Amino acid sequence: MIDSRELLLLSERLARGTCEADWRAAVSRAYYSAFHHAREFFQALGFDVPRSDAAHAFFWRRMENSGHAALKSAGSTLVQLRRQRNRADYDVHETVIQRDARSVITRAAETIHLIDSLGSGDRQAAIEVIRTYERDVLRETTWRVRPR
């Protein structure tokens, strides 16, 4: 099993590369580092995260509506990182430079740090706000009581 931070380390190595393919791969791996970190975070809180491309929207909707400024910021950054990853992976006619890769890596690391900086009280408060958002707005329930 790989830890999401290992993908960030890989992206840093790729960003030191000498060609655009390296930098594109660095952007992609940096995004997925933050993405998988968000997955681990939500699963640890007791949410059932979809295993499809629906996971991307799952994260930002709940982060943006968590009632917590740091999570909202992390969710917004995750959306931006995904756009950069899509550009790096799909828009081969557009140039990706080393500075682009380094910028994405920095923002992915900041996103991971924001998630990690939440204390247990902030996490519990976010769970309650997100559960209410799911019930009242999304009309779905993905949080599950975790056995002790």
Pick one of 3.30.530.20, 1.20.120.330, 1.10.10.10, 3.10.20.90 as the CATH number of 4-138. 1.20.120.330
Q: What is the pLDDT of residue 146?
A: 66
pTM for the whole structure: 0.91
The domains of the chain are located at 4-138
Phi-psi group of 139: left, alpha or beta (phi > 0 → left; psi -120 to 50 → alpha; rest → beta): left
- Average pLDDT along the chain, 148 residues, taken 10 residues at a time: 92 97 98 96 94 90 94 94 96 96 97 95 95 94 76
Three-state SS at 47? strand
Report H helices in 17-119: 20-45, 54-64, 69-90, 98-116
